[in-house]
Amino acid sequence: MKLGGVTLATLLAAAFASPAFAQDDSAVMAAELARQKAALERLERREAERSNAEREAAERAKTEPALRLSGYVQLDWVLHNQASQNEVNYSTGAPLNQDRFTLRRAHLRAASERGYLTGALEIDANTVNGPQLRPINAELGVRFPARDDPKQPRFSLVAGLIRIPFGFELQELDFVRPFLERSTAARAFFPGEFDLGVRFRAQYRFFDLSLAVMNGHPLGDRSFPALAPNQKKEIIGHLGVQGEIAPGVSVAAGLSADTGNGFHEGNGTSKDRLVWRDENGDGIVQATEVQVIAGSSATPAEQFHRFALGADARFGIRFGEHAEFELRAELVRASNLDRAIEPADPVAVGHDLRQLGWYLGATQEVTRWAIVGVRYDFYDPDQDAREQQAVQVVPRDRSYRTVSFLAMLRYAEARLSLQYDLNRNALGRAANGAPTSLASDALTARAQLRF
């Protein structure tokens, strides 16, 4: 107000001091005066709005509960899965039937923000491999400034069981992601999406940088989930930019990197064993068929290097309210990083396992009630795979390819999704003995409710 008053007085003084005012330029000066008045009023209005917003925020902070509870439930019904068998896997005891109801995720999250301090605990219940209740996110941290202001640089440091900062897909929350599950490559490289460690994050305007030091064995790791058999830590980072380049057109892109060490288990000392091999298939023990397998001394565990480089991009166009089109893509080049689909162990295999994964997906809002989408994802767990085929050693394609078709209905915080996954792999055998796809297409319905 004071600034506005001074400016107005100065303008008026200057205007009346001019001898030419009354005679020649009275009309021009009047217009200028009106323009300045309008600008001043705009400034005053904006200043008042900001003050009101700050006051409201301060009052809200006083009345906010100390703990915020939220959560969601995702219930799946696999309507059809070609891989389904009414048998069990005799090595794991897990049923092979996939056509079933599954509680995919039921999350309850408690979060608290007090000035510079933040904390959260999220519990996951599911029946994917039988009833399971586990912590999925448990973190405590500090942040600066104490209150989020997009115009200011923001820094945070959190520790605990935290989300792995690699790429875009891993950061996207499960209840936000339109497709039912993440791409095959993401599930292979970062199973479970959470790992124990420390993460630093810096955000300013359209930049977003995350750096983390973690155990390197995420929750979904097939060998040592949420444990750490080796001392060396995994270092992971993501640098992203995000912004609106034109009204209704948004772009986001990022680069990620991961370097760490995998673990190859050694063996304990084994005892001598007598083994009967029924060489002639007559079912009777002959002296020549009994062999001694001499015991061996223990072998030490070994470590191996693994890394990944990734790039992600999203592009969105808003054609109107509830008519947004989004294109998303991600590419990851890795070495020895598979921890879930075909766990990589270069010590056992004898060579480094080069991996490549990428996906391209598109979604389109169709009114406020529906979204449709399609995604192609590709994952090759060993680009140098070879196999003996008759008299020749030939390259072997071991890739997994999936085309997902999605249709989703939504109302308020509820979603009903139907997704068909057209899965192609190299796990079966064709009549000529060459690898071919093992039938595993799936049609899944999912109901989701957030609260």
Partner 1 sequence: MRALYSMPWLVGSALLVVACSGGASNDPALGSRMRIVDAQFVSGATPSAQSGPEVAASELLTTTIWPGNANKPLRGTLGGAATAAALALSGDAGYWLVPAGPPDVSAPALPTFRCTASFSRMLSDSAYTLEVRAVDAQGSFGPPLRQTLTVLPASPSRSVTGDLVVSLSWDNEADLDLHVLDPLGNEIYHGAPSSIDAFAAGASKESAGILDFDSNADCEDDQLRQENVVWRQEPPSGRYSVRVDSASLCGRSVAHWNVRATLHDLQLGAAQGTSLDSDTWGAHDRGAGLLALGFDVP
432 binds partner 1 (CB under 8 A): yes
CA distances from 114 to 61, 145, 186 (A): 9, 12, 34
**Helices marked H in 193-233:** none
Q: Is 402 helix (H, G, I), strand (E, B) or coil?
A: strand
The distance of closest approach from Cβ of residue 318 to partner 1 in the complex, given in angstroms and rounded to an integer, is 15
Q: Is residue 272 within the footprint of partner 1 (CB under 8 A)? A: no
Query: Which of 209-217, 291-299, 342-350, 361-369 is the region at the interface with partner 1 (rule: CB under 8 A)?
Result: 361-369
Q: Is 412 in the site for partner 1 (CB under 8 A)?
A: no
Our CA angle for 444, 450, 451, nearest 5°, is: 155
* 117 makes contact with partner 1 (CB under 8 A): no
Among residues 99, 181, 265, 441, the one that binds partner 1 under rule CB under 8 A: 441
Given the complex with partner 1, which of 297 and 432 has the nearer CB atom? 432
Q: Which stretch binds partner 1 (CB under 8 A): 196-204, 233-241, 312-320, 422-430?
A: 422-430
Alpha-carbon torsion angle 183, 74, 370, 443, nearest 10: 60
Identity of the amino acid at 362: A
Q: Which of residues 385-404 bind partner 1 (CB under 8 A)?
A: 387-391
Instruction: Give the residue with the Cβ less far from partner 1, 53 or 409.
Output: 409
Rounded to a whole number of angstroms, the minimum distance from the CB of residue 214 to partner 1 is: 35
Query: From the list 24, 367, 414, 451, which residue makes contact with partner 1 (rule: CB under 8 A)?
Result: 367
Is 418 a residue that touches partner 1 (CB under 8 A)?
yes
Angstrom distance (rounded) from CA 214 to CA 196? 6
**What values do phi and psi take at 248, rounded to 5?**
85, 0
Please name every residue paired with 80 in a beta bridge, in sequence order, or none if there are none. 443
Cβ closer to partner 1: 20 or 390? 390
Task: Return the number of the residue (268 or 283) whose C-beta is nearest partner 1.
Answer: 283
Q: Pick one of 347, 443, 447, 449: the residue that binds partner 1 (CB under 8 A).
A: 443
Please, which of residues 72-111 interact with partner 1 by CB under 8 A?
Answer: 80, 82-85, 87, 93, 96
120: Cα within 13 Å, side-chain hemisphere? 21
In the chain the first and final C-alpha atoms are separated, in Å, by 44
Is 273 a binding residue for partner 1 by CB under 8 A? The answer is: no
Q: What's the rounded Cα separation, in Å, for the pair 433 and 325? A: 44
What are the residue ranges of helices labelled H in 2-151? 2-17, 20-23, 26-63
* DSSP E strand boundaries for 273-340: 273-276, 290-293, 302-318, 324-335
Is residue 130 within the footprint of partner 1 (CB under 8 A)? no
With b for 16 or more beta-carbon neighbours within 10 A and e for fewer, the 96-114 pattern comes to eebeeebebbbbebeeebe
Q: Distance (Å, rounded) from C-alpha 253 to C-alpha 258?
A: 17
Q: Which of 237, 252, 172, 240 is nearest to 204 (CA)?
A: 240
- Quote the least distance from Cβ 188 to partner 1, whole Å: 21
CB of 278 to partner 1, least distance (A): 7
Which of 179, 190 has the CB closer to partner 1?
179
The CB-of-441 to partner 1 minimum distance in angstroms stands at 5
Contacts of 259 (CB under 8 A, 6+ apart): 234, 235, 305, 306, 307
Residue 35 found at the interface with partner 1 (CB under 8 A): no
Strand blocks (E) in 322-385 = 324-335, 354-366, 370-380
Give residue for tokens 């915080």.
413
- Minimum CB distance to partner 1 smaller for 336 or for 444: 444
Task: Select 111 or 443, whichever has its Cβ closest to partner 1.
Answer: 443
Q: Which is nearer to partner 1, 142 or 434 (CB)?
A: 434
Query: Under the criterion CB under 8 A, does residue 331 sit at the interface with partner 1?
Result: no
Judged by CB, which is closer to partner 1: 251, or 403? Answer: 403
Binding of residue 31 to partner 1 (CB under 8 A): no
Cβ-based nearer residue to partner 1, 286 or 299 = 286
**Shortest distance (Å) from residue 280 CB to partner 1:** 4
* Cis-peptide into 395, omega within 30 deg: no
Residues at the contact surface with partner 1, assessed by CB under 8 A: 80, 82-85, 87, 93, 96, 278-285, 364, 366-367, 369-370, 372, 387-391, 405, 407, 409, 418, 420, 422, 424, 427-434, 436-441, 443
